[in-house]
Structures are given as structure tokens and as C-alpha cells.
């Protein structure tokens, strides 16, 4: 499996949240929660091929967040999961580097799903 890099614009889903009438928690972004980044890692398609290939008839690729939750929290109440057409796998990456440095926990480290061409919330942390 070779390492690949992907350059893309990534926008935080909280971009503009300070304009929301309900004032959600988190950084009070107005504008600017976006940037050009370079991710490095292994292509999802290579991992799937190494594990025997895609099962026949599959239409979607699903990413699920891997955070360790506090005791007593039901993961089904806060699970972050996104499904995309299986064609997205052609460019998807399991990234461990962001701009040449290990992906930090705040940015989804140690491993983050990157899916170019789809909105940032599909790049599961």
C-alpha cells in the first residue's frame, strides 16, 4: 500500500455559527473556519483491496467516528456516522498527516477519513 497526498479546502461545519440565533457551543466563528490543507495517508481503496475487496452489490461506504466515550454514554445517542456513494472510495484517504505533521486529536487524529469532493462533515474524525 502506497502513501498518497490530497490537497483540498476543508471548512468546519461551525463556520458562521456566531450568526446562528441560538448561539451553539464551541468557537464563535463568524467567517474563516476554512483552509487549504494537505492530507497524507493510505487510500481507502487500497485497504479494501488488501482485505479482500468490496462485497458484491455494495452501494455505500460508511464512516463512523471512533472516539472513546465517557462511561454511561450510549454511543447510539451521539454517534457520528456518514454514508457516501461507494464511488467516493476512489479518492478517499485514511489520513495520519495534516500539512506534514501527525493529525492532532482536535483534527481527528490519529487517523481521519478524508473524502475529497464532499462537505467537511463527511470527513469523519
Which of residues 75 and 105 earns the better pLDDT score?
105
| Positive/negative CA dihedral, 66, 67, 68, 70 | negative
Residue-level pLDDT at 101: 96
- The rounded distance, in Å, linking the Cα atoms of 68 and 31 is 31
CATH 3.90.420.10 corresponds to the domain 4-122: yes
Residue-level pLDDT at 122: 63
- 2-35 pLDDT, tens digit each: 889 999 887 777 778 888 888 777 778 788 778 8
pTM as predicted: 0.77
CA 86 to chain centre: 15
Q: Which helix (H) or strand (E) holds 96?
A: strand 93-98
Show me where the domains of the chain are located.
4-122
Amino acid at each position: 500500500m502506497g502513501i498518497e497526498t490530497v490537497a483540498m479546502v476543508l471548512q468546519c461545519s461551525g463556520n458562521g455559527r456566531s450568526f446562528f440565533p441560538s448561539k451553539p457551543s464551541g468557537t464563535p466563528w463568524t467567517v474563516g473556519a476554512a483552509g487549504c490543507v494537505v492530507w497524507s495517508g493510505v487510500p481507502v481503496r487500497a485497504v479494501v483491496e488488501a482485505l479482500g475487496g468490496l462485497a458484491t452489490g455494495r452501494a455505500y461506504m460508511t464512516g463512523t467516528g471512533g472516539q472513546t466515550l465517557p462511561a454511561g454514554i450510549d454511543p447510539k445517542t451521539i454517534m457520528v456516522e456518514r454514508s457516501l456513494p461507494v464511488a467516493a472510495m476512489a479518492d478517499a484517504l485514511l489520513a495520519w498527516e495534516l500539512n506534514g505533521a501527525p493529525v492532532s486529536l482536535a483534527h481527528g487524529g490519529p487517523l481521519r477519513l478524508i473524502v475529497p469532493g464532499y462537505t467537511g462533515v463527511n470527513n469523519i474524525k
